[in-house]
Amino acid sequence: MFTQRRNLIFLFFGIVGALFIGKLFFLQVIDDTYEKAADNNAIRKIIQIPFRGEVYDRFGKLIVYNTPVYDLYMIPRKAVVKDTNHFCRVFRVTKEYFIKTTQRARAYSRVKPSLFLKHLSKEDFASVQDAMVDFPGFFFETNAFRTYQSHSFSNALGYVAEISPAALTDQKDDYYRQGDYVGISGIESFYEETLRGQRGVKYRMVNSNGVEKGDYKNGSLNINPVSGNNLYTSIDLAIQEYADSLMQHKVGSIVAIEPSTGEILAMVSAPSYDASQLTGNNFSKYYQQLALDPMKPLLNRPPSAYYRPGSTFKLVQALVGQQLGFIGPGTVFSHAGAPVKCHGHGPVDLRGAIRVSCNPYFYHAFRKMIYDNTTGDTYERSAKGLQRWADLVANFGFGRKLGVDLGNEKKGILPNTEYYNSVYKGEKMWKFSNIYSISIGEGEIVVSPLKMANLAAIIANRGWYIPPHVVKGVGLQKSIDPFYKTPVKVGVDAKYFNVVIDGMEDAVTHGTVEADGRIPDIKMVGKTGTSQNQKGKDHSIFIAFAPRDNPKIAIAVFVENAGFGGSAAAPIASLVVEKYLKRKVDRKAVETKFMNMNYLPNVYSVTRKKAAPDSTKK
Amino acid sequence: MTDSNHIQGRIDWITVGFYVLFVGMGWLNIYSAVYSPDAPLAFSDPAFYESNAGKQLVWIGTSFVLIICILVIDFRFFESFALFIYLGLLLLLIAVPFLGVTINGSHSWFKFGSVTIQPAEFAKTATALLLAKYLNDPLVNLSKFPFQWKAALIIVIPMLLIIGSNETGSALVFASFLILLYREGLPGVYPALFIGGIALFVSSLLVPAWIILLVLVILAGLLVLFMPIYMQRDPKTYLRLSGAIGLIMTLALLVDWVVNNVLKEHQRNRIRVLIDPGFDPRGLGYQVTQSKIAIGSGGFWGKGFLGGTQTKFDFVPEQSTDMVFCTIGEEHGFVGVMLMIIFFLGFLWRLMYLADLQRSRFARAYGFGLVGILFFHFLVNIGMTIGLMPIMGIPLPFFSYGGSSLWSFTILLFIFLKLDSHRSDMLSR
């Protein structure tokens, strides 16, 4: 009886079974949203930020290191604060801050930790330790911020700050996340990838209450953080600090280079700022103040500021003129026919022209270089001649980046044919008479202090330089990019340098350099420059190297609105050179005079006129 | 008469094999569900026996004692004492509201020292026994209403008592006796009405009433089209059809009313979660959502034994008891759950095959009662973990953690195996 019903019943069972298997196939094999949901549920990715690399000077003195700080986190679900007033007193926060932050943390997640208070110092951390038992749900995580041994190197070092929204979206490899710290300028920016190290990732399993339950897949996916590499700079911290002290009450730059290696010994940008203020909780307040300062303390002037080189450029003219075969040590030009004036002396040869910085001499020399080609009218000849000249001058690093290992290096301007074609809106619209200003380093040519220090190094080396750089070694191996080891020839034969160096020596001993710029026991050779600018008093420029034989230091000093090059820049340069070569300065009177010299009133009168950016440009 | 020495030779080892397989697999999954990767417990650690896995090991051990007991009791005992067992269970069910304790919101447990027992779990066995005994009377004919009525009474009394102690899920299990009754001659219209009623209930929740009406009218039209011409010409046919449609529509509209006015809040929400999976995923829908995440994340091959993250870290509530299927789904993947379902259906097939071999109607009916109960648990338990059934506190037989559940299923199964081992000794009366 009814035996066939067994089959019907089983058919029903089978249908249910098939339905289940179908649904399970859909859930488990076809639809992958559950897999992702599961990972979101149970796996927490924890980023571990490694210590950023430290920075040392050339003698191994620490310049920048990391100070551990403590960030306070809260887990809202576990956080029970019985006495809010007590809490606020212990952590020195306002009640409003407490309420606001707690609410934000709750809105983010009740079970995941939220940052409550950033950057507690070791001392603060120690002082709240005893009270922590009263505040369950609060815990500390270590973090670090940059600490600066010296305030004198801030501009070249750069600083570290939270990544900007723009940089966050522009990044190529998606490394940074919101709130990550990144090097903003200087070597912090240039060596960002070296300094930052390798971020670690930990995958932790968490249960439904957000409590960690061990490593996911036994930690096989975890990546340990790797500390950033240290940077060993070529900076001589003693010289750096000394040069910095000389630049107080002044606006400008000092760049000192070791000519044989291209290593930058000191790089001062004035006015500067206190880098340690740009760490931690003060950042936004202090940064605002700096960014709005008309003196532009955040600008790293040596590689980034624009000036006309003035008379210091005559050295390039002397070298290029000889190399092109238009002048020689015996070439003499009279003052006649030159629209530029001289300072009252008779006709001079090349050596003498450099000594007294004779404007007409270099006007005539430049005219010869430009016009000495046979075809075409004066317009065509100017175009041809200028291009030949500019191609050679470009070898000195003008109008292009030298490749210094700092963020924000500016190219400067080396006017060539193409440049004037665009300025005068077409070919054959200009000739020598339109451009002669550049013969004496005025007009359209624009340089940075770094380029001029490099020029001093080129002359010291008699025809070559190694690209200037701040970092001479990276990491344990102290490795360095071969770019910073390879000499670059400028295409001017060594023999042409003799007369130039002779002229520079004369300029210091009995030329344009005033007595304060002479070091009795060191044979320093140099050239003054006085850079015209429309906004105020001339900028005072001096480039030099010393000693004359076997040079150890090449230097460029720019002091804005300080007037004649021989009276301000040259004495300051001589003090730095003396300090570097003798490790002490005997000319105390000169030292005191220039440390206290204040050129700021001249600068204020410029900034008060609210003239546009830096200098130059017609 | 025979002696118990032959039991060994006659017991159905295939069924026993399934039983051992299920209990063993179940234990491994419970172990995995409570396994904590940051603090794994050794078997030698006393704390292990505080965990669900350790306690289940104890339950499994005691189950073997129960099996021995059942196998040594005279097979006639179960038929002879069916009524006493049934009445005894009714007494316990009546007593539980007064003497019981509350566990997980259900006031249906007796506590003896550290052991808790839920009489509702054992009431199924007692009901199956009494129902089988009643049907053993050759005069009982289930196609006749008076017998239907009495059989229904045997089922409904414990059912109502269990509903009284707030165990709706356990009470619904008694609906599975329809399979027993159907096999024993209950007209097919009853299970058909039952299934049709459920279909109507579900569809009235899922689709608007006018669609149901439309479908019914189309069905009626097709029916008229294919019926003999004399019926087509009979105006009474149309009257009856309209009456049937009207009745069904009234019932469909009644469903909404029942859902909104008769069901309790939590029951209503469980149904709502079923038809709207996105409903309150953090609250009421949490269990279904997390259960689906756990199973769904298992993929084709699963995450491997002890490799699950969802069940292990308490994302799925009750993961070692009612939700143990999630652990299988997460750690053993589609392959694991498919094999589990196929094995379970094979197990049910084997039991039905054995039941049909019985010479006594008592043993056969009991066998189908057993099959029905196991199937109902299978249907509801797996159905709720994958979102096809509302959440009810119903364990997966042999797999789920729990003493009462394991004991009751063991007793239920082994009484049948005991009867089966004596099938040649029993005469159908």
What is the pLDDT averaged over residues A65-74? 84
More confident site: B79 or B234: B79
Q: Half-sphere exposure (CA, 13 Å, Cβ side) for A560?
A: 33
Interface test with A, best of B35, B179, B198, B315 (most A CBs within 10 A): B315
DSSP β-bridge partners for residue A201: A47, A223
* Alpha carbon A597 to chain centroid, angstroms: 27
* pLDDT level of residue B342 (50, 70, 90 thresholds): very high
d(CA B399, CA B22): 6
d(CA B105, CA B92): 19
Secondary structure letter of residue B197 according to DSSP:
H
Residue A517 pLDDT exceeds 70: yes
Residue A15 pLDDT exceeds 90: yes
| Amino acid at residue number A398 | F
Helix (H, G, I), strand (E, B) or coil at A33: helix
| pLDDT at site A20 | 93
Chains A, B: CB contacts under 8 A, how many?
Answer: 122
Other residues' Cβ atoms within 10 Å of the Cβ of residue B65 = 10
B334 in A contact zone (CB under 8 Å)? yes
| pLDDT at site B130 | 95
Per mean pLDDT, which of A554-563, B159-168, B224-233 is the most reliable? A554-563
Q: What is the mean pLDDT of chain A?
A: 86
Q: Taken in order B4, B9, B11, B16, is the CA torsion positive or negative?
A: positive
A1 in B contact zone (CB under 8 Å)? yes
Residue A14 structure tokens: 């089978």
pLDDT digits (tens, 9 = 90+) for A476-485: 888 888 999 9
Q: For residue A403, what are the CA distances in angstroms to A400, A610, B298? A: 9, 33, 55
Residue B176 pLDDT exceeds 70: yes
> What residues have CB less than 8 Å from B285, skipping those under 6 apart?
B273, B277, B278, B279
Residue B84 pLDDT exceeds 70: yes
What is the pLDDT averaged over residues A416-427? 88
Q: Half-sphere exposure (CA, 13 Å, Cβ side) for B217?
A: 6
Residue A587 pLDDT exceeds 80: yes
> What residues have CB less than 8 Å from A300, skipping those under 6 apart?
A155, A156, A158, A185, A186, A269, A406, A408
The angle that helices A84-91 and A95-108 make with each other, rounded to 10 degrees, is: 100
Q: Half-sphere exposure (CA, 13 Å, Cβ side) for A138?
A: 23
Q: Using an 8 Å Cβ cutoff, are B326 and B297 in contact?
A: no
Taking the CA of residue A48 and the nearest CA in chain B, the distance in Å comes to: 21
* pLDDT level of residue A572 (50, 70, 90 thresholds): very high
Give pTM, 2 decimals.
0.63
What is the pLDDT averaged over residues B390-400? 88
Among the residue ranges A128-132, A289-293, A515-519, B128-132, the one predicted with the least confidence is: A128-132
Of A9, A35, A205, the CB nearest to B179: A9
Among the residue ranges A72-86, A430-444, A446-460, B99-113, the one predicted with the least confidence is: B99-113
| pLDDT at site A208 | 65
B314 in A contact zone (CB under 8 Å)? yes
Among the residue ranges A57-71, A332-346, B123-137, the one predicted with the least confidence is: A332-346
Smallest Cα–Cα separation from B385: which of A28, A12, A40? Answer: A28
Contact A17 B293 (CB under 8 A): no
User: Taking CB atoms and an 8 Å cutoff, what residues of chain B touch A39?
Assistant: 297
- Tokens 């409903």, residue? B279
Contact A42 B313 (CB under 8 A): yes
| pLDDT at site B131 | 94
Burial per residue of B13-44, b for 16 or more beta-carbon CB atoms within 10 angstroms, e otherwise: eebeebbeebbebbbbbbbbbbbebeeebeee
| pLDDT at site A70 | 83
Other residues' Cβ atoms within 10 Å of the Cβ of residue A486 = 11
Q: What is the mean pLDDT of chain B?
A: 85
Element (H, E) at A134: none
pLDDT over 70 percentage in chain B? 91
Residue B46 pLDDT exceeds 80: no
The angle that helices A378-394 and A359-371 make with each other, rounded to 10 degrees, is: 110
Residue B277 pLDDT exceeds 70: no
B348 in A contact zone (CB under 8 Å)? yes
| pLDDT at site A458 | 95
d(CA A551, CA A541): 20
Closest CA in chain A for residue B294: A38
Residue A75 structure tokens: 């887990």
| pLDDT at site B9 | 54
d(CA B114, CA B97): 19
3-state secondary structure labels for all residues of A483-519: HHCCCEECCCCHHHHHHHHHHHHHHHHHCCCCHHHCC
pLDDT digits (tens, 9 = 90+) for A178-237: 777 888 888 888 898 889 888 887 877 776 666 667 777 677 778 888 888 999 999 999
Element (H, E) at A471: strand A471-474
Interface test with B, best of A2, A3, A20 (most B CBs within 10 A): A20
* pLDDT level of residue B426 (50, 70, 90 thresholds): low
Q: Using an 8 Å Cβ cutoff, are B377 and B169 in contact?
A: no
Strands of the sheet containing B101-103, edge to edge, are B101-103, B106-112, B115-117
Taking the CA of residue B399 and the nearest CA in chain A, the distance in Å comes to: 17
Contact A21 B371 (CB under 8 A): no
> What residues have CB less than 8 Å from A387, skipping those under 6 apart?
A416, A417
| pLDDT at site B288 | 80
B395 in A contact zone (CB under 8 Å)? no
Q: For residue A615, what are the CA distances in angstroms to A423, A568, A597? A: 18, 18, 22
Residue A338 pLDDT exceeds 60: yes
What is the pLDDT averaged over residues B133-154? 90
Residue B156 pLDDT exceeds 80: yes
* Alpha carbon A28 to chain centroid, angstroms: 55
Go through the domains of chain A in sequence order and give each one's CATH number. 70-144 (3.30.1390), 237-608 (3.40.710.10)
Among the residue ranges B39-43, B150-154, B159-163, B379-383, the one predicted with the least confidence is: B39-43
Taking the CA of residue A90 and the nearest CA in chain B, the distance in Å comes to: 35
Domain ranges of chain B: 4-187+273-421, 197-262
Of A6, A9, A29, the CB nearest to B299: A29
A31 in B contact zone (CB under 8 Å)? yes
Helices (H), A130-269: 154-157, 165-170, 186-190, 192-196, 237-246
Task: Output Rg (C-alpha) for chain A, integer angstroms.
Answer: 33
Q: Using an 8 Å Cβ cutoff, are B155 and B131 in contact?
A: yes
pLDDT digits (tens, 9 = 90+) for A262-282: 999 999 998 888 887 887 677
| Amino acid at residue number A299 | L
Q: Kindly report whether the peptide bond that precedes residue A547 is cis, defined as omega within 30 degrees of 0.
A: yes
> What residues have CB less than 8 Å from A291, skipping those under 6 apart?
A298
Kindly report the CA angle at A611 between A609 and A613, in degrees rounded to 5? 145
Residue A443 structure tokens: 């007009």
Residue B364 pLDDT exceeds 70: yes
* pLDDT level of residue A617 (50, 70, 90 thresholds): very low
User: Taking CB atoms and an 8 Å cutoff, what residues of chain B touch A216?
Assistant: 309
A341 in B contact zone (CB under 8 Å)? no
pLDDT over 90 percentage in chain B? 35
More confident site: A444 or B49: A444
pLDDT digits (tens, 9 = 90+) for B12-34: 999 999 999 999 999 998 888 87
d(CA B347, CA B325): 17
Of B299, B309, B329, the CB nearest to A42: B309
* pLDDT level of residue B351 (50, 70, 90 thresholds): very high
| pLDDT at site B125 | 93
Helix (H, G, I), strand (E, B) or coil at A421: helix
Interface test with B, best of A27, A31, A41, A216 (most B CBs within 10 A): A27
Taking the CA of residue A202 and the nearest CA in chain B, the distance in Å comes to: 15
Q: Half-sphere exposure (CA, 13 Å, Cβ side) for A263?
A: 16
Smallest Cα–Cα separation from A244: which of A265, A263, A269? Answer: A269
The angle that helices A359-371 and A314-323 make with each other, rounded to 10 degrees, is: 40
Provide the chain B residues 363-382 that lie in CB contact (below 8 A) with chain A: 368, 371, 375, 378-379, 382
pLDDT over 90 percentage in chain A? 37
Other residues' Cβ atoms within 10 Å of the Cβ of residue B160 = 12
| pLDDT at site A312 | 93
- Tokens 């007209």, residue? B187
| Amino acid at residue number B3 | D
> What residues have CB less than 8 Å from B142, skipping those under 6 apart?
B135, B148, B151, B181, B184, B185, B186, B187
Transcribe A352-384 into DSSP letters.
HHHHHT-HHHHHHHHHHHHH---SS-HHHHHHH
More confident site: B266 or A353: A353
Per mean pLDDT, which of A77-86, A138-147, B131-140, B205-214 is the most reliable? B131-140
Residue B335 pLDDT exceeds 90: yes
Q: Using an 8 Å Cβ cutoff, are A518 and A509 in contact?
A: yes
A15 in B contact zone (CB under 8 Å)? no
Kindly report the CA angle at B168 between B249 and B106, in degrees rounded to 5? 150
What is the pLDDT averaged over residues A305-329? 92
